[in-house]
Amino acid sequence: MKNFISRRNFLIKTTGAGASALAVPLLSGFAFQDKAKPGIKPVIITSHTNETGQKAMETGWEILRTGGSAVDAVEKAANIIELDPEDTSVGYGGLPNERGVVQLDASFMDGKTYSAGAVACLENIKTPASVARLVMQRTDHVLLVGAGALEFAKAWGFPEENLLTEKARKIWLRWKEEMSSSDDWGSPEHLQNLSKNESYRHDFPDIEHHYGTTNVLAIDNNGDIAGCTTTSGLSFKLNGRVGDSPIIGAGLYVDNEVGAAGATGRGEDVIKSCASYYMVLRMKDGRTPQQACQDALQMIVDRYKKVNPGYYPSEKFVAINKYGELGCAIMRGNRNPQMSVRSDKGYSRYDGTVAFPGK
């Protein structure tokens, strides 16, 4: 293996992740392993870069460090994020659908066996990633939805719990009040004719975050690769709407021979473009994970060129190849997307690219 330091663009940057503003190494164009002489080096990544994401990485890393499997590491790391009540995009505390009901989607894939499992529209279970893993390992199916998914989870002893936190309920209620002037719901300001949008945004900045999901991908000591994507999906979605996260090939794809990829953002376009599978195919064709993420975003925009020119749906993709090279790209925005990385070199953040800056 070549000198670790010489292979990376190593910047130290202080990033404010919640209460602990830690000095976290920021990496880009980074490879853990030498392609010419691949030695196996475990690594785990997640698209979540907040404090909980970092905690999740430590949990996953401890499993990998002690010789555990990528499947175990990914599940336990994903559970940490799912159980964070403050996170309104994943698991417990996730924003509900338009009826105020939290419906969770999750997928799991084992790149060694190409086995996969997923749940969609799962209610009342805090850790859908674990249920998806059981669908993968303990059924002959890939996807269970709604009441069937809940029945399956209960059969495995998962407790039914209320997933709607007060924080999420208040955001939902405010959304409902502000959504339309032609229904009978009214915000506190509507009688005084205040500017709805201003107070709405001021009190509930989170409400603009209609998207949010986490991808967790890992390589273990044996070189086996696993991945999970878990989410509460698009907030205020129609009852029964399923996003890309539980769709194998869309929100997640893993192949031991190549690598793994995951998606967050507007799921409808990710489903229609089979984006995660596409990224893995691109890596198979020799593209780096970073290029594969960019290629997938470009592919989505190109497909709409004739029918919907100028359409840049909000997506963020992450990828890793079997050599431990990383990729992360977002469709648009003015800040580079990041993802969390944990390896034997410690915790760091990978700095990705914006595919269409200024759009």
Give the residue, chosen from 211, 236, 278, 317, that forms a contact with ligand ASP under the rule CB under 6 A. Answer: 211
Contact 87, 81 (CB under 8 A): yes
Element (H, E) at 9: strand 9-17
Nearest to 337, CA basis, from 347, 348, 351, 325: 351
For 19-114, list the strands marked E by DSSP.
20-28, 43-46, 104-110
Contact 126, 92 (CB under 8 A): yes
Give the residue, chosen from 60, 68, 212, 223, that forms a contact with ligand ASP under the rule CB under 6 A. Answer: 212
Mask for 109-148, x = binds ligand ASP (CB under 6 A): ----------------------------------------
| 46 is a contact residue toward ligand ASP (CB under 6 A) | no
Question: Whose Cβ is closer to ligand ASP: residue 117's or residue 251's?
Answer: 251
Instruction: Return d(Cα 289, Cα 301) in angstroms, integer.
Output: 19
Instruction: Return d(Cα 216, Cα 226) in angstroms, integer.
Output: 8
| 265 is a contact residue toward ligand ASP (CB under 6 A) | yes
| 337 is a contact residue toward ligand ASP (CB under 6 A) | no
DSSP string, 56-81: HHHHHHHHHHTT--HHHHHHHHHHHH
Instruction: Return d(Cα 283, Cα 42) in angstroms, integer.
Output: 19
| 213 is a contact residue toward ligand ASP (CB under 6 A) | yes
Nearest to 240, CA basis, from 97, 90, 95: 97
Catalytic residue among 52, 165, 213, 229: 213
Applying CB under 6 A, the span of 35-43, 138-146, 262-270, 330-338 interacting with ligand ASP comes to: 262-270
| 49 is a contact residue toward ligand ASP (CB under 6 A) | no
Min dist. Cβ of residue 136 to ligand ASP (A): 20
Give the residue, chosen from 42, 93, 262, 267, that forms a contact with ligand ASP under the rule CB under 6 A. Answer: 267
| 103 is a contact residue toward ligand ASP (CB under 6 A) | no
Give the residue, chosen from 59, 69, 107, 231, that forms a contact with ligand ASP under the rule CB under 6 A. Answer: 231
Q: What is the separation of C-alpha 10 from the centre of its chain, rounded to a whole number of angstroms?
A: 25
CA distances from 102 to 43, 134, 287 (A): 32, 21, 38
| 351 is a contact residue toward ligand ASP (CB under 6 A) | no
Instruction: Let me know if 165 is a catalytic residue.
Output: no
Question: Whose Cβ is closer to ligand ASP: residue 59's or residue 214's?
Answer: 214
| 91 is a contact residue toward ligand ASP (CB under 6 A) | no
Question: Whose Cβ is closer to ligand ASP: residue 230's or residue 291's?
Answer: 230
Binding site for ligand ASP (CB under 6 A): 211-213, 231, 233-234, 243-245, 264-267
